[in-house]
Structure 1
Amino acid sequence: MLKSLKSYSLDIQLVLITTLLSNVGIFMVIPFLAIYLNDIDKISTVDVGIIIGIAFWCQRAGSLLGGILSDFFHVKKTMLLGLLIRIPGYMMVGYVTNFYLLVVACSLIGLGSSIYLPAAKSFLVNRTDDNKKVEILSIRVILSNVGVALGPVIGLAVFDISPIWLFTSVGLVFASLLFLNLRLSDIERKKEESNPIFSDFNKLLKNKKMVITSILMFIFIALYMQIEVTIPMFSNDVFGKRFISAVFIINALIVILFQMPISKWACKESNTFAMPLGFLFFSASFLLLFVFESSYLALFSSVIIFSVAEIIFQIRLDYDATNIDKRMIATTFGLMSLAGAFGGLFGSFIGTLLYSTPIFGLGIWAILTIATVILTVISFFSLRNIEVVYA
């Protein structure tokens, strides 16, 4: 991967380094944010839930704003804005105790992430040849997951010293990234490409491929939420707390190690079986948990298979998004992220509900196995007949 990185321009290398370091910074804070807020005397447990919930929606739903700003106005300035507004957000968290100020601070953090992400993806895709799109999107995901893996380790060390140091240091990380990204060169549209207007946005909303991709993103994130919510709950209940971290470590390692080869296969234009196979992997993952409930091997195997399904969906949906309307790539990413926000809410709600309340005698893993088998069959007979629309 390092060899591949060196072959790209300095602008692309800088955006990828920013992706890595920003994820390190984000995940230095995420595991400890709720703990820190809950320890503030003026903040109740309910307040903590409200603050984090608002931040989550800002992070997800705000991506549409980032996409529109990027496509309709300016890519580089949108990226800089996404970095800039996170600086006061992180700084404020460490020094204020007022509920409303903490809502503002965490909202700025979430909104900054959501504004930056679609703009950065669009920047990478627009600066890369078509035959390199899959590779650059894969490298971005790998570096993101490296940041996810490193962030909590570094964050724990700093948090133990001082929570204020933690939030201040992350704020300084984003200040440094903002300064470095000022060096990025602007993207100029090709002469044959006109600036998008509102009617183009309306057409994008009605585009069949956009609708299907958004639905698939909703379903994917709803299923993905199980590895963040119900699988850790299951691991804790059956095997103990020490296995919760193992779930996340295995997931991150599989994505880092196998992202590139799986992506190259999943994004072949002739490949009509990627999505059905992805659903089938999800089904196999849930089936293992259903059949071998108390097996360590089954748990780890399930997480590995789940991670492969995650790779397939994530890269294929990103790749398809780049081919819907080449003038509105960032907006497309923003719409997908919005669909993912609703999928995350649905997935976490349904997951926790099914985990505690069996339906017709069936537990969560049996129901999810049946549901994903049905999705496998439906996707096999429907998606294989849908061609990617190249704008």
Structure 2
Amino acid sequence: MKTIFSNYINTFKGLSTEVWWLALITLINRAGTMVIPFLSLYLTKNLHFTLTDVGWIMSAFGGGSVVGSWLGGKLTDKIGYYKVMVFSLVLSGFLFIALQFLKTFLEISIGVFILMIVADMFRPAMFVALSAYSKPENKVRSVTLIRLAINLGFSAGPAIGGLIIVTLSYGGLFWVDGITCFLAGILLLNVLHPKKARIADEITIENPKSAYKDSNYIIFLFAMLLFGIAFLQYFSTIPLYYKEVHHLSEFQIGLLMGMNGFLIFALEMPIVKYLEKSLYTKTGLVVFGSILTAISFMFLNLSNWVGVLVIGMLFMTIGEMIAFPFSNAFALQRAKKGNQGEYMALYSIAFSIAHIIAHNSGMQLISAYGYSITWHTTTVVMLICIGLLYYLKWRMNSQKDKQ
């Protein structure tokens, strides 16, 4: 047991102090995102919106995320990642608290849209900061550490969120989310500064390549868009499925989703370190993760036994642990060719667009055809994603482009 623990700790060695601080800031920020997994339940149970209404509100969520990611990338290239991150954290804290006071469909749609513009400006700035603070040989593990922070926050958030809902109300979630944003912003101001970035990452690239002209990167982004459409069902339609079909309580839903974050915290870094040393390419590993995610949706239709929910979550978790770190590393690798903010903004935008499509289409499919057809459709989306990634691998091999 001591050897296992020692080997686990060794997987974290060599990461810079600034990356650890960035991970802690991300952890504090994401621990408060307990509102997000319960948003669809809050809108249907407390505000009595229809599934169609919820779908459109979640599309506003995604639309704001697209604008925020794009704006965050532009501002990062213009004024730097540090100022963008501070502005995003502090202002989104106020907006999260204010969101609970909005009640009508129009108010919530506009409020969610504005909130996500501000909140998701943080993402491309954070990725560029990560690249600046990290040693070149540790990029993938640095990305993985940030993901661990995010998922540790997500594992604690839903479980605590479920308890808050049961004992207090949904309103408490908004306060906690806002306060954690403030705390993350205060910590950022006190422990990180652009002067601590590695000099090698501050060199200006002569005639930087536009991400929009990188055709292989665009194909990759389309694949990630499809992956995001499927993956995000776990944060909107699947909690409803747990509630309506399997009759789980909010606390049980929080525990099931918390299991996802805990497993990622416990296993992702060792898995990534092992795979990083393997002969597999980054795109090949993203393919493998996508296959496991597709299988997770197949399990949902196999039986009414509640155990399939756990098995499905396990497959999705392992798929996520492999697909996300290496897709992120692929994007960071491509970003070295041009405007880093632009490259990482497009990576974030792919998932933001997925937010627009995923939640709304999932809600509409459930409303029109039921859960079973929705999971079959999602599986097909994942199969198309896998096909695109295989095409990208073939294309990059033929061009001798680094994967």
**Interval containing the TM-score (normalised by the shorter chain):** 0.7 to 0.9
Farther-moved stretch of structure 1 (187-196 vs 238-247): 187-196
> What is residue 4 of structure 2 aligned with on the other side?
none
The unaligned stretches of length 5 or more in structure 1 are: none
Note the C-alpha offset of 1:223: 1.5
What is the TM-score of this pair, normalised by structure 1? 0.80
**What count of residue pairs does the alignment treat as equivalent?**
383
Shift in alpha-carbon separation, 1:234–1:270, aligned structure 2, 3 A:
same
State how far apart, in whole Å, the 2-side matches of 1:345 and 1:235 are.
22
* CA offsets 1:144-203 (integer angstroms, 9 cap, x no match): 11111222444456665577665455434333332322232214764993267xx746x2
> What is residue 80 of structure 2 aligned with on the other side?
74
2:334 is paired with a residue of what secondary structure? Answer: coil
Q: 1:278 aligned to 2:285?
A: no
> What is residue 153 of structure 2 aligned with on the other side?
147
State how far apart, in whole Å, the 2-side matches of 1:161 and 1:92 are.
18
Q: 1:346 aligned to 2:357?
A: yes
State how far apart, in whole Å, the 2-side matches of 1:49 and 1:79 are.
29
Amino acid at match of 2:396: I
Q: 1:15 aligned to 2:22?
A: yes
State how far apart, in whole Å, the 2-side matches of 1:38 and 1:47 are.
13
* CA offsets 1:278-313 (integer angstroms, 9 cap, x no match): 2321333233334x2223333322221122112222
CA-atom RMSD in angstroms: 3.9
* CA offsets 1:21-59 (integer angstroms, 9 cap, x no match): 10112225763697489868xx98798876664344223
**Contact persistence 1:158–1:165 (CA under 8 A):** yes
2:272 to 263, 281, 300: 263
1:216 to 212, 217, 223: 223
State how far apart, in whole Å, the 1-side matches of 2:264 and 2:390 are.
24
1:324 to 312, 315, 334: 334
Q: 1:185 aligned to 2:162?
A: no
State how far apart, in whole Å, the 2-side matches of 1:29 and 1:212 are.
29
State how far apart, in whole Å, the 2-side matches of 1:95 and 1:236 are.
25
Note the C-alpha offset of 1:120: 1.2
Farther-moved stretch of structure 1 (211-220 vs 249-258): 249-258
Note the C-alpha offset of 1:352: 4.3
Amino acid at match of 1:341: S
1:305 to 292, 299, 315: 315
* CA offsets 1:204-240 (integer angstroms, 9 cap, x no match): 1010232022112101101202323444444445432
Note the C-alpha offset of 1:318: 0.4
Alignment of 1:361-372 (within 5 A): 363-369=373-379, 372=382
State how far apart, in whole Å, the 2-side matches of 1:48 and 1:378 are.
30
* CA offsets 1:361-390 (integer angstroms, 9 cap, x no match): x94444544554565456446515526957
2:304 is paired with a residue of what secondary structure? Answer: coil
1:26 is paired with a residue of what secondary structure? Answer: coil
Farther-moved stretch of structure 1 (76-85 vs 2-11): 2-11
Note the C-alpha offset of 1:319: 0.4
Q: 1:206 aligned to 2:184?
A: no
State how far apart, in whole Å, the 1-side matches of 2:227 and 2:325 are.
12
Amino acid at match of 1:221: G
**Contact persistence 1:142–1:256 (CA under 8 A):** yes
Shift in alpha-carbon separation, 1:86–1:108, aligned structure 2, 3 A:
farther
> What is residue 59 of structure 1 aligned with on the other side?
65
State how far apart, in whole Å, the 2-side matches of 1:205 and 1:279 are.
24
> What is residue 84 of structure 1 aligned with on the other side?
90
* CA offsets 1:250-283 (integer angstroms, 9 cap, x no match): 3223322222133235555841431332232133
**Contact persistence 1:28–1:154 (CA under 8 A):** no
1:130 to 118, 127, 136: 136
> What is residue 294 of structure 1 aligned with on the other side?
304
Percent identity of the aligned residues?
A: 20
State how far apart, in whole Å, the 2-side matches of 1:370 and 1:340 are.
18
**Contact persistence 1:89–1:104 (CA under 8 A):** no
* CA offsets 1:79-122 (integer angstroms, 9 cap, x no match): 11111221331343456779887666544532232111211121
Note the C-alpha offset of 1:3: 6.7
State how far apart, in whole Å, the 2-side matches of 1:294 and 1:170 are.
35
Farther-moved stretch of structure 1 (64-73 vs 295-304): 295-304
State how far apart, in whole Å, the 2-side matches of 1:298 and 1:350 are.
24
What is the TM-score of this pair, normalised by structure 2? 0.78
Amino acid at match of 1:81: F
Shift in alpha-carbon separation, 1:100–1:85, aligned structure 2, 3 A:
farther
Amino acid at match of 1:77: K
Shift in alpha-carbon separation, 1:118–1:295, aligned structure 2, 3 A:
same
2:34 is paired with a residue of what secondary structure? Answer: helix
